[in-house]
Amino acid sequence: MALHILDEANRCLECKNPTCIKGCPIGTPIPQVIKLLKENRLDEAGKLLFFNNPLTTICSLICNHEKQCEGHCVLAKKGNPVHFSAIESYISNAYAPKMVKGPAESNKKKVAIVGSGPAGLTISIILARYGYQVTIFESKDKIGGILRYGIPEFRLPKRVLEDLQYRHIELKGIKIRPNIRIGDAIGIDDLFRDGYKAIFIGTGVWRANALHIKGETLGNVHFAINYLTNPDVYKLGDSVTIIGAGNAAMDVARTAIRNGCPNVTCFSITEKVAASDYEYKYAKLEGVKFEYNLKPIEIREDGVLFREVRENGDGTYTELPDSDVFQPSSSVIIAISQGPRNVIVNSTTGLNVNDRGLLKADEHGNTSRPGIFASGDVVSGARTVVEAVAHSKIVAESMHKYMQGLPEE
């Protein structure tokens, strides 16, 4: 590990008004965790982390720390912040093997979790703590959702997900039904028929957004979410044009570099990238090139035709005349975010969606149909993992109160 964890912990100023907590979407009690570590109370620190955030081993690796806990550290104003990401990773991974407790006493109530991404996993773990009989319905062969099929191995090793599945899912008695998509052979109404007291929908956003320009159906064109699901099956050639410059585009670019593509270029319609500064710097370090203020006009078999644009300051762009430039490449990957699939909505009555196809749910996760709850990307659109976990903690408590007949606060 690059940092000596205890030395890093000793840099904490133990602020009376810890701004690091304010910067954490899930409110991790950072000073308390660090204090326990310095007092050689590692197990207590680990318990505190996992109770607050069931996905702490994951968030310690992939959170946007530069804008969250570490970005709000008072030491960051004049120098280097306390790198809590490294501290959290060390504590959570050291304590995880000690988590061998079996299922809680069953309360005999069944809960269905549709989708096993960050939101679904969080809901499952919290409700299992209360003794609910939880079953996860996952459309893919393994759990994890975007964690497994959208984040590269070099950022989130699969062993972390396997350990989470063993300690938080299998040991707690949570059942998994893989390779089944609710809305096909089995629908929401079938789940209620079979005695599930509440249903959670956390299916994420897996439908790639399209550019709707000429050439998008050509054989050399791919979508980021599809590529990241299984990059080994793609033959990209020796040069790749990536349309988009967000964090997903950085994952695509860095994965393509690792898979042997020597020439990778990201194109941004703005004058700077949308990705986090860390991800952008890592991509540049690894050889990814960047071009700015260019809008794709047409995709061809041998590359992409771009047009220079000027930002108007209100989210719109003006195309500049006589500014077209052709970028030759063997493959093109479109990375402009994703939207929700509509299988469940189309097969279920009473579920309302907004104009983007996202499920409508209130702050407690209640959808338009009683007993059906939702959170995560399928409600908010693509957001960060820790934001999904934080809101799903609230939704889990709301589901618990609903199934116990308790009023929401």
Residue 409 lies in a domain: no
Q: Output the pLDDT for position 173.
A: 96
Q: Which of 373, 368, 405, 363 is nearest to 109 (CA)?
A: 405
Contact 113, 122 (CB under 8 A): no
Tokens for 175, please give them. Answer: 């059942």
Q: Decide if 104 is inside a domain.
A: no
What value does the mean pLDDT take over residues 268-273?
93
DSSP structure class, residue 375: -
- Report the CATH number that the domain containing residue 70 is assigned in CATH: 1.10.1060.10
Show which of 321, 336, 351 is a domain's final residue.
336
Task: Report the pLDDT value the prediction gives residue 360, as an integer from 0 to 100.
Answer: 94
H or E, element range at 338? strand 338-339
Give the pLDDT mean for 72-97: 94
Contact assessment for residue 239 and residue 328, using Cβ atoms and an 8 Å cutoff: yes
Q: Are residues 202 and 344 in the same domain?
A: yes
CA distance 74 to 375: 32
Shared-domain flag, residues 215 and 330: yes
For the domain that residue 294 is a member of, what is the CATH number?
3.50.50.60
CB 225 within 8 A of CB 246: no
Question: Which residues, including other chains, have CB under 8 Å from residue 129's CB and lie 6 or more apart?
Answer: 104, 172
pLDDT for 1: 41
CB 238 within 8 A of CB 330: yes
Mean pLDDT of the region 12-23: 94
Phi, then psi, of 296 in degrees rounded to 5: -70, 135
The 10s digit of each residue's pLDDT in 213-227 is 999 999 999 999 999
Domain termination site, one of 50, 74, 98: 98
Considering the domain architecture, whether residues 323 and 276 belong to the same structural domain is answered as yes
**Statement to judge: residues 223 and 277 lie in one domain:** yes
Number of domains in the chain: 3
Report pTM.
Answer: 0.93
**Over the stretch 295-329, which tens digit does the pLDDT of each residue have?**
999 999 999 999 999 999 888 999 999 999 999 99
Same domain, 223 and 317: yes
Domain that holds residue 355: 110-206+339-404
- Residue 3 pLDDT class (50, 70, 90 cuts): low
The label of the residue with tokens 């310095």 reads 38
- What was the pLDDT predicted at 7? 93
Residues 172 and 117 in one domain: yes
Residue 105 included in any domain: no
pLDDT for the residue numbered 320: 96
Is there a single domain that holds both residue 215 and residue 314? yes
| Count of helix runs (H) and strand runs (E) in the chain | 16, 16
* Segment 351-359 mean pLDDT: 90
Last residue of a domain, one of 71, 98, 125: 98
- Output the six-digit token pair for 181: 């998509």
